[in-house]
Structure 1
Amino acid sequence: MKTTLLHRITIEPGKCGGRPCIRGLRIRVQDILDMLAAGTSEKEILHDYPYLERDDIRAAMAYAAAYLNHSIVPARSG
């Protein structure tokens, strides 16, 4: 299901500075995450943005989780 959700995330150079957005809309993944972090419920987000769907919110969280799961390999000096 996570892979299916990630199909909802789009990146277009001409929209929102090329940042990840929901389904080509001008609402960034970061906007959704900021609202959730501020304590806004899914229900409130969906009420305030009626063109969003519950899976859009889940897709934003799945995208963030995938992004944060990226392995970091330290550079070797010398």
Structure 2
Amino acid sequence: MYFFCKFVSNDKNMNNNWQNSISIDSNIRFGKPTITGTRICVSDILSWLSQGMSMEEILLDFPELKKEDILAALAFAANRENITKIIAA
């Protein structure tokens, strides 16, 4: 049995929050979603936040990031969670 993820969005505002900040490139971090222009994955940011790091701490540790990048990572994750449909084939 194979599973496919289909991404469909009806919320244009949520898409616009992350579309310009998140990239997926098979040559960078094995195709994981990353902050455009960096090798920092969305999952890295989510992990740091879940471990209790504040946005300010992340920005101090990773000066290449902007607050908008962290918010884009959160929007991307929320969008993906809300719109992923598992389709069994």
Measured against the shorter chain, the TM-score band is 0.7 to 0.9
Change (3 A) 1:48 1:69: same
Give the % identical residues. 40
TM-score normalised by structure 2 residue count: 0.76
Are the counterparts in 2 of residues 8 and 59 from structure 1 also a CA contact under 8 Å?
A: yes
Are the counterparts in 2 of residues 2 and 59 from structure 1 also a CA contact under 8 Å?
A: no
Q: How far is the alpha carbon of 1:38 from its aligned partner? A: 0.3
Change (3 A) 1:36 1:14: same
TM-score normalised by structure 1 residue count: 0.86
Query: How many correspondences in the alignment?
Result: 75
| 1:52-78 C-alpha deviation (Å, 9 max, x unpaired) | 000000000000000100254676xxx
Q: What are the equivalent positions in structure 2 for 1:67-78 lying under 5 Å apart? A: 67-70=80-83, 72=85
Alpha-carbon RMSD across the aligned residues, in angstroms, is 1.6
1:4 is aligned to 2:13: no
Unaligned residue ranges in structure 1 (runs of 5+)? none
Unaligned residue ranges in structure 2 (runs of 5+)? 1-12
Q: What are the equivalent positions in structure 2 for 1:1-78 lying under 5 Å apart? A: 1-6=13-18, 7-70=20-83, 72=85
Are the counterparts in 2 of residues 9 and 23 from structure 1 also a CA contact under 8 Å?
A: yes
Change (3 A) 1:38 1:12: same
Q: Secondary structure at the match of 1:69?
A: helix
Higher relative contact order (CA closer than 8 Å, sequence separation 6+): 2
Identify the structure with the greater strand proportion.
Answer: 2
